[in-house]
Amino acid sequence: MHNERISETSPNMKAENSQELMRANAVLDAVLDYSEAQGWRGFDKHDALNSPFLWTFCGWSRVTRLLAVQAVMRSPVNLRPVLATPRTFNPKGLALFMRGLLDRYALDGDQGHLVRLRTLLGQLDAMAVVTPSGGRAWGYQYPWQDLGFFAPRGTPNAVVTAFVCEALLAAHRQLGEPELLSRVEAAIPFFLGDLQHLKDEPEELCLSYMPLPMSMRVLDVSILVASVLAQFARQSNQPQWLEPARRLACYVVRRQTDYHAWFYTDPPGDSPIRHDNYHTGFILDALSSYMDASGDRQWQPQYDAGLAFYAEHLFEPSGAPRWMSDRAYPYDIHGAAQGMLTFSRHMDTHGGLARRIAGWALDEMYNPEGRFYHQRMRWYTKKFTQLRWCNAWMVRALAAFAQGIHREVD
């Protein structure tokens, strides 16, 4: 079992915890330094069509766009420099860096972390788009062809906007600046007005991924928005947002299987993704944040059962993150980061697993230059770095892990 409870902290354990904390913070600072040296810009997983060559020769149809994206994404080497793909800002990545800086600041009080944070916040402000409802939102800075949609560069995106709002809400809790909350409030019309209501019933609400014609119901979208609305309701003292948050959460919780997992889409056959690693973590973390913010704990049993499924079926004993519950490879750094995040919330019961995941990531996937590798395949490792996918996620994860260890040391 991955679930282990530590009832007592011995002097030796405290010393080990202190060493782990020092290592996590040292790597965290090195990764932040490297990422800042890149200007917070980088390549991304689905950015193939940012290449002027691929856009010219493959941008004319759904099939050719999809082939181009998949070929670059699956290549064992990074083709983007050869294809003249530019390095870009990623709003989700900037939000993840912000969360890591906030956690780092909470531990040592260094004002330099806030200087970096305000730089990132300024860039996010510059990238926000005004939507037809008058809301503000964020999207990926590349044309994105997936199986179920094509999104032009910058298309407002529910998941990206939710992650930005999570960072703003965390900054507001820590810094108390009202304008941070105002930025979140400006996104609510986008969530509830621009996104399609793919299911809208008295007890359940499901939102689309983007404000495009699409029927695919991606489960983590609705729970991420539920988490944002619940946190905003609490922090702004505007309880009217709790009802749509509850309906969004209810929709997702009711799609949990009888063996306590979630598929990526509803119905499951709409995507080849089944019970994958990081989307499972997204749902768990968002449900936990929703319950904490709203005080509505009716779904605690579903959360606990889902957490147990995540621990038992989506990580190897070594801590390596499985790609899906029924498929091991590739071991992806994003999965490791997500596992560290989720289990760092539960150091009393899942601290051992959080440590194994962190140890695997640091031992197997870290380059002392200050960057993390992308994926470990069965016979080789993709040793290139995508700034959002690799470094931003691990900054967020290492900072949360350090917070978890710090609580134990105290």
Predicted confidence band of residue 11 (pLDDT cuts 50, 70, 90): low
> pLDDT tens digits for 51-99?
999 999 999 999 999 999 999 999 999 999 999 999 999 999 999 999 9
Predicted confidence band of residue 410 (pLDDT cuts 50, 70, 90): low
Residue 296 dihedral angles phi and psi, to the nearest 5°: -90, 105
DSSP 165-190: HHHHHHHHHHH--HHHHHHHHTTHHI
CA distances from 321 to 41, 76, 305, 314, 329 (A): 26, 19, 19, 6, 9
> pLDDT tens digits for 358-401?
999 999 999 999 999 999 999 999 999 999 999 999 999 999 99
> pLDDT tens digits for 289-320?
999 999 999 999 999 999 999 999 999 999 99
Average confidence (pLDDT) over 282-292: 98
pTM of the complete model: 0.96
Helix (H, G, I), strand (E, B) or coil at 106: helix
CA distances from 104 to 27, 396, 409 (A): 12, 10, 16
At residue 172's C-alpha, the angle toward residues 168 and 178, to 5°, is 105
pLDDT at 8: 46
pLDDT at 1: 43
Residue 390 CA to residue 193 CA, distance in Å, equals: 33
> pLDDT tens digits for 157-204?
999 999 999 999 999 999 999 999 999 999 999 999 999 999 999 999
pLDDT at 385: 98
Q: Name the strand (E) or helix (H) holding 35.
A: helix 11-37
CA distances from 348 to 2, 8, 208, 361 (A): 12, 10, 36, 21
Helix axes 393-409, 91-108, angle to 10 degrees: 20
Which residues are registered as beta bridge partners of 137? 129
Report the chain's mean pLDDT, rounded to a whole number.
95
Average confidence (pLDDT) over 330-344: 98
Residue 307 token pair: 């957490």
Helix (H, G, I), strand (E, B) or coil at 92: helix
Q: Are 375 and 73 in contact (CB under 8 A)?
A: no
Pick 11-45+85-409's CATH classification: 1.10.10.10, 1.50.10.20, 3.40.50.150, 2.130.10.10: 1.50.10.20
Spell out where 66-178 has E strands: 129-130, 136-137, 144-145, 150-151
